[in-house]
Amino acid sequence: MYWGPTAEWEARMYGSILLPVDGSAFGEAALPAAVALARRSVARLHIVHVKGSGAAAWAGLPGLPWGEAHDSAARAYLETLTDRTASDLGESVSFALLDPPVPEALRDYAASKNVDIIVMSTHGRGGLSRAWLGSVAAGTVRVAPCPVLLVRPQRGRGRPGRTLRIRRILIPLDGSAHSESIVPHAAALGKATGASFDLIHVIEPVFRIGDSMGVPTYQAETQANDAREARAREYLQNVAERLRTQGVEVDIAVAKGEAVERIGARASETGADLIALATHGRTGLSRLVLGSVADKIVRGSKLPVLLVRPPSEEAGTS
């Protein structure tokens, strides 16, 4: 369903959650969050591993083609994770071993099980911690039929991972239907966690270019900037009112400057626990895996990030 500006937003509880793992501790960083979310939503948790995605090393069979020994090791590993979560979820947890390639396997499995959200770490055994996002996570975001919650591993604290403690969700919006496509998914996450919301729209100030003795000068166009700010505030207020009809607390903010910087500053100022945004908005960067703003936020933020691709992109258009 397309969640555009005229659609009704109704927060729906999760019924099915997908957790991809790769056999590493860092790959399990999202496990506590996935379990907590499944418990609060009374949802089924699917723990999956795709053959060949890092398992050769932890199975003790590095460098060998995938075979029955790897299958057995992978299934034993998945059974162990399932047993660990059974005390929290009972029979509402299952596992599956999937055939590669990874993003497409996760996409197809999510579609077949009507998965509502994929929860995964931004880094696993693949050794891509220097990148803004591991290749598996990036590929999954690109093809996923549902939102993806990315959890960043916490180093230096024993086994990496964190419990799900989301009390405030920051949602950057740019006035486009694309950016608003994240709202119902953020609302669903907020319903499961009891979070409040903070909407932010960042505008770039308008300047008038002049000349002073051959030197360019820049002067803010006060009237034009005030008008843009007023329109942005009215827009956010309209979105906020639609969310408030669901009985949630919503704040709004209009900021001036560079989008990623202002979004990060707002997250720090308000104590946001998560940033939720669409991967493509008004900037027109649909050819990228993520829009430039989403790219930089995932790369630079220490917070979990909820991402969704608008339906037009899932259909291969922009």
User: Quick check: 109 pLDDT over 90?
Assistant: yes
What is the per-residue pLDDT for 13? Answer: 80
What is the per-residue pLDDT for 89? Answer: 94
The fourth-level CATH superfamily of domain 168-274 is HUPs (3.40.50.620)
User: Quick check: 240 pLDDT over 90?
Assistant: yes
For residues 264 and 299, give the distance between their C-alpha atoms in angstroms, rounded to a whole number: 12
Q: Collect all residues with Cβ–Cβ distance below 8 Å to 119 and sequence separation of at least 6.
A: 17, 18, 19, 30, 33, 34, 37, 148, 149, 151
pLDDT bin (cut points 50, 70, 90) of residue 61 is: low
pLDDT bin (cut points 50, 70, 90) of residue 123 is: low
Domains 16-151 and 168-274 in one fold? yes
Mean pLDDT of the chain: 80
User: Quick check: 309 pLDDT over 80?
Assistant: yes
Q: Are 114 and 19 in contact (CB under 8 A)?
A: no
What is the per-residue pLDDT for 290? Answer: 46
Q: Other CB atoms closer than 10 Å to residue 299's CB: what's the count?
A: 14
Q: Residue ranges of the domains in the chain?
A: 16-151, 168-274
pLDDT bin (cut points 50, 70, 90) of residue 23 is: confident
Tell me the pLDDT tens digit for each residue of 255-301: 998 999 999 999 999 999 999 999 864 443 333 334 578 878 887 88
pLDDT bin (cut points 50, 70, 90) of residue 142 is: confident
Q: What is the 3-state secondary structure (H, E, C) of 46-80?
A: EEEEECCCCHHHHCCCCCCCCCHHHHHHHHHHHHH
Q: Are 217 and 209 in contact (CB under 8 A)?
A: yes
131 or 266: which leads in pLDDT: 266
65 or 281: which leads in pLDDT: 65
CATH class of 16-151: alpha beta
Q: What is the pTM of this model?
A: 0.83
pLDDT above 90 coverage of the chain, percent: 52
Tell me the pLDDT tens digit for each residue of 193-219: 999 999 999 997 655 555 555 555 445
Mean pLDDT computed over 234-249:
94
